[in-house]
Copies of this chain bind each other. A is one copy, B any other.
């Protein structure tokens, strides 16, 4: 595990893509794959693919390539998908609802154990068999239920405050959908989904092509 020291963010961001494509190969009953074949499928160079895998130790075999099942399992473990994660959603608005209903996550091993909101109209309602609770009860919930990941779907004005509460209660991962840069201590991980930044990038690219 010490090998895993300073993997660059560029490599890390490619891992889920490998995982997805390997899962597809596996579904199609493909046994082996070479870096060249993967390259054609994913769009990274074969050289880069081999470099990436070698950050974590060699999974391949000269003259043969990679065993799909084995490589899939390795990457699965590297990503941490051999464990389950308890999650809560804070903010039961549009995005919170969409995330709650995104069944794909259950398959990865994520358990949704709580949903919180301030809106009295939403509190008490059920989503995915989980009752939406008053956000004022979140602190107590966290003290009684070990929670790995907090999914922030509240307006940007309160997002940092929510994050602070999560961190104070030992949550170690924050998946942030609020359009703001949230600050957390070094021992907490954060991943942002900034939808508007994504859309603005698209618009720039569209206009750039017109030139």
Q: Which residues of A contact B (CB under 8 A)?
A: 1-2, 4-5, 7, 12-13, 15-17, 19-20, 42-43, 78-81, 85, 94-95, 97-99, 101-102, 104-105, 108, 110, 148-149, 172-175, 179, 181, 187, 189-191, 193-209, 211
Contact = CB atoms under 8 A, between A and B. Distances in A.
Given A98-B94, A196-B104, A200-B108, A205 B189 contact: yes
B189 A209 contact: yes
25 contacts: A5-B211, A7-B208, A12-B201, A12-B205, A12-B208, A15-B200, A15-B204, A78-B204, A79-B203, A80-B204, A81-B200, A94-B97, A95-B98, A95-B102, A97-B98, A104-B195, A104-B196, A105-B196, A108-B196, A175-B199, A175-B202, A189-B205, A190-B202, A191-B202, A193-B195
A115 to B, nearest CB: 14
A201 B209 contact: no
Given A80-B204, A200-B79, A209-B187, A195 B102 contact: yes
A148 B200 contact: no
A16 B197 contact: yes
Given A13-B201, A79-B204, A102-B195, 7 more contacts: A2-B211, A4-B211, A12-B205, A79-B203, A172-B206, A175-B202, A191-B205
A181 B16 contact: no
Contacts of A211: 1-2, 4-5
A55 to B, nearest CB: 12
